[in-house]
Amino acid sequence: MATRKPTKANASAKTAGRCALISRTTNETQITMRLAVDGQGRFTGTIGVPFFEHMLNLFTRHAHFDLHIEGRGDLEVDAHHTVEDAGIVLGQALREALGDKAGMARYGTAYVPMEETLARCVLDVCNRPYLRFDAQIPKTKVGEFDAELCEEFMRAFCVNAGITMHITVLHGANVHHILEAIFKAVGRALGQAVARDPRIHGVFSTKGAL
């Protein structure tokens, strides 16, 4: 189950910035994340999956978030539960940090080239979770990371954050390049979407609610 651990920093989130601290403990994983949306692109911590942590570092840097992660999972089985649960926790942290989403741009689009690879992410932070993942990623490993877990992470993240997201790899051959371009594109699109726009009063919707 997921639990929220309030801290003094979180209690003053409205004045200090959009922040959240989320923990999730199951029989398979124990993961805690501290997220600051209005950050400087800093990633710290570990959950024991080095290549995945590298991807989170890229995502964080390009979104201009600050993210600290700690915990562990049943890596003696494989990294599936750890990576998927990290997506759940990150999604919950983002949803909590964004609050009512007032003044937020809401939509984001990014193209990221990585040599022969070109990835695109288009998203809407709208409380309607949906993921379209158009990427032909071979069932192989990069380091000890199963490449197919990229889609599992993105789905868990979108569902728990309430994001509609379309990820497309337009060109690509090298699996490392493909994964890196995807995480960078998602980070850049998300950073754009959560940015505050002084022209927006309340939530950016004709409905008056998201």
Task: Report all structural domains of the chain as residue ranges with CATH numbers, in order of start.
Answer: 2-194 (3.30.230.40)
For 89-150, give the DSSP string: HHHHHHHHHHTT-TTB--EEEEEEEETTEEEEEEEEESS--EEEEE----S-EETTEETTHH
Looking at residue 1, its pLDDT comes to 43
Looking at residue 205, its pLDDT comes to 79
Give CA–CA dist 70/102, Å, rounded.
30
Mean pLDDT, the chain, whole residue set: 91
At 168, list the tokens. Answer: 């497309």
What does each of the 210 residues of the chain score in pLDDT, given as a tens digit? Answer: 444 443 333 333 333 589 999 999 999 999 999 999 999 999 999 999 999 999 999 999 999 999 999 999 999 999 999 999 999 999 999 999 999 999 999 999 999 999 999 999 999 999 999 999 999 999 999 988 999 999 999 999 999 999 999 999 999 999 999 999 999 999 999 999 999 999 988 888 778 778
Burial of 28 (0-12, 13-18, 19+ CB in 10 A): middle
Looking at residue 96, its pLDDT comes to 97
Looking at residue 207, its pLDDT comes to 81
Looking at residue 16, its pLDDT comes to 53
Looking at residue 196, its pLDDT comes to 94
CA nearest neighbour of 106 among 165, 60, 150: 165
